[in-house]
């Protein structure tokens, strides 16, 4: 069976420059490269492609469908302190969940919501 080796999230953003700065300055992503209308970013195993779509409906108007990613991390508490210190809007504060994850969620300038989670127990399936 073929294996998925990495994932890339493609996000439509209304203001590419502002969104790019948010991911670089507030969430600690690095810019791999850019081309007209696109920014290619990464942090660890997560890759993002931000596409400039000035006429797209902002995700902030699509609250029920604005979750775009659940990123599994090491040391969620340290990452939480980092993003809070950077002034990122928090959607859900850091908390230990009954499904064995320590999670928090942020809101991007375009209204996308990203959840970060750290597995707390080894007996849970890694696919959670």
Fold annotation for 7-119: 2,3-Dihydroxybiphenyl 1,2-Dioxygenase; domain 1 (3.10.180)
* pLDDT tens column, 56-89: 887 777 766 677 889 999 999 999 999 999 999 9
Q: What's the pTM?
A: 0.85
Q: Of the candidates 102, 113, 33, which has an alpha carbon nearest to the alpha carbon of residue 74? A: 102
Rounded to 5 degrees, φ, ψ at 82 are: -60, -50
What is the average pLDDT score of the chain?
Answer: 90
Rg (CA), the chain: 15
* pLDDT tens column, 3-26: 878 889 999 999 999 999 999 999
């Amino acid at each position: 069976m073929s294996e998925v080796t990495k994932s890339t999230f493609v996000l439509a953003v209304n203001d590419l420059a502002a969104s790019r700065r948010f991911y670089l300055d507030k969430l600690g992503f690095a810019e791999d490269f850019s081309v007209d209308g696109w920014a290619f970013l990464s942090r660890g195993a997560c890759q993002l492609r931000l596409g400039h779509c000035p006429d797209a409906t902002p995700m902030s108007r699509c609250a029920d469908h604005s979750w775009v990613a659940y990123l599994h991390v090491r040391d969620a508490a340290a990452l939480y302190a980092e993003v809070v210190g950077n002034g990122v809007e928090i959607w859900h504060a850091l908390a230990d969940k009954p499904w064995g994850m320590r999670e928090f969620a942020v809101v991007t300038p375009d209204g996308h919501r990203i959840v970060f989670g750290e597995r707390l127990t080894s007996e849970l399936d890694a696919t959670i």
